[in-house]
Structure 1
Amino acid sequence: MLASRPSSWVGLGGSADIVQVFERNQEATLYVGNIDAQVDEDLLWELFSQAGIVRLVNIPKDKVTGAHQGYAFVEFESETDADFALKLMGMVKMYGKPLRLSKAAHDRRTFDVGANLFVGNLDPDLDEKVLFDTFSSFGNVVSAKMLLLLL
């Protein structure tokens, strides 16, 4: 079951757009969390090749620093290989840190992240409707409130 990594392989990297992510076979893809900063695609490829045929390893990277964000996606040739890897690698530690494994997200809704966003230095003439409309272009906005500080 060991597979060697193709020398011409190019990962999705940090610049992967959402369309590329959803072209992956989600049923055959594992989320790998809690990875150490020393871990790279090659190391994950070698580790997970012990469980099945690996098609893709993607470690998203910060666009500014270039450092990875502590998680990865490993896509296998089949869902059976992914399920086997999930069972086999569940207790594996890399650089003293236990890997956290799960099946990758199945639909777009799991990519939605709730957050409170504070934006400072706004123009005093800006109103809540403009603020709401501006940020709505990036996703669902529940509310937009402005706080006026009097000094």
Structure 2
Amino acid sequence: MSVYVGNLSYDATQDDLNQVFQEYGTVKNVKVPTDRETGRPRGFAFVEMESEAEEDAAIEALDGAEWMGRDLKVNKARPRQDRKPAAGGGWGGNNRSY
């Protein structure tokens, strides 16, 4: 299981998050997803900690806390939902031939 951290500053790094979450236990992994096209962070992250008790302590302390000018949204990460491909094959779905 891991912790979802939302409403992150785009300046937040994996090291920054690791440092903050270490106050609540052992951090096993931090992932800050980036946009495929721009390479910029997407404004959220996932933090995996050693135990559920440590995750719960971090969630309790950090959800709603102000950090780097933003009010964090911190909760248990939900399993990723499989997304269906968009209709139209990437051409806007209007089925026109060019």
Q: Is the TM-score greater than 0.5?
A: yes
Identity among equivalent pairs (%): 33
Amino acid at match of 2:93: V
Q: Name the one with the larger strand percent.
A: 2
1:95 CA drift (Å):
2.0
Which of 22, 36, 39 aligns to 1:66? It is 39
Unaligned ranges ≥5, structure 1: 1-25, 125-151
The structure with more helix, counted as a fraction of residues: 1
Match of 2:97 among 100, 123, 126: 123
Partner in structure 2 of residue 142 of structure 1: none
Aligned pairs, how many?
94
The structure with the largest alpha-carbon Rg is 1
Alpha-carbon deviation of 1:120?
A: 5.0
Question: RMSD across aligned C-alpha pairs, in angstroms?
Answer: 2.3
Deviation at 1:121, TM superposition (A): 7.0
Find the residue that maps to 1:49 and give its secondary structure. Answer: helix
- The alpha carbon displacement at 1:63 in A equals 1.6
Please give the TM-score of this superposition, normalised by the length of structure 2.
0.82
Q: Which runs of 5+ in 2 are unaligned?
A: none
**TM (normalized to structure 1)?**
0.55
